[in-house]
Amino acid sequence: MLRLLMLRHAQSTWNAQGRWQGHADPPLSAEGKQTAKAVASQYLDISRIISSPLLRAKETAEIIAASNNLGTIATHPGLAERDLGEWEGLTRNEVEEGWPEYLQEHKWPESAETTEAFQKRVLAAISGLAERIEAEKIKAEKIEANMQDLPGEALIVAHAGVIITLEQSLGEAWRKIGNLCGRAVILNSGEMTLGEKLGFESETPAGLTAELATELTAK
């Protein structure tokens, strides 16, 4: 059995401005860096971090990695957010003005990545990463006397759209994914299921003390 912790990046400069991001590449805001560092200092024991190549996710991953002495992170292009085409850089009001009723009808501009293509890309990336990590654990097991002696879980730092798409593909309804929130994914004999919700929006925060959760949600 393998557990992957899927986490959305910390607040970016465009999150703070209310702009749609997609494949655009804004960095973390000062608040985002601070919160990522606060979360990292309380985080679960992890053996490796894999990130979307987009800067907001990569910076979040690097902050968590530094706090856990994990060294260089890996990136995977399949973990990037959905390509939003013409909407990238726009605010919600600008989208509603330019594309009336699109948001209410859950429609995307023609220039955006399709739902089918996005879901296929995300699932392929996660499945591929899981297979690679599992293969590495099996190889390590030949050296280690006990699997429990091997390093802990893998953290995947990605985007809200990636996590939402994964949840929906496994039968869950849409929900909002806040910054530094996410979902555990369990893979067992090729079958993928959802675990607990992660982050300070969940009832049982992963890697956060109750005091820190209260502090972060108050902002």
- Spot the catalytic one: 59, 62, 81, 167: 81
Six-digit token string for 50: 């894999």
Q: Is 81 a catalytic residue?
A: yes
Q: How far apart are CA 161 and CA 73, in angstroms?
A: 21
CA 5 to chain centre: 8
Tokens 């607990």 appear where?
A: 196
Cβ(165)–Cβ(156) under 8 Å?
no
Six-digit token string for 148: 């429990």
Listing DSSP states for 25-51 in one string gives ---B-HHHHHHHHHHHTTPPPEEEEEE
Q: Is 9 a catalytic residue?
A: yes
Q: How far apart are CA 182 and CA 194, in angstroms?
A: 11
Other Cβ atoms closer than 10 A to 99: 16
Quick one: which of 172, 177, 174, 182 has its CA closest to 205? 182
Residues carrying an active site annotation: 9, 81
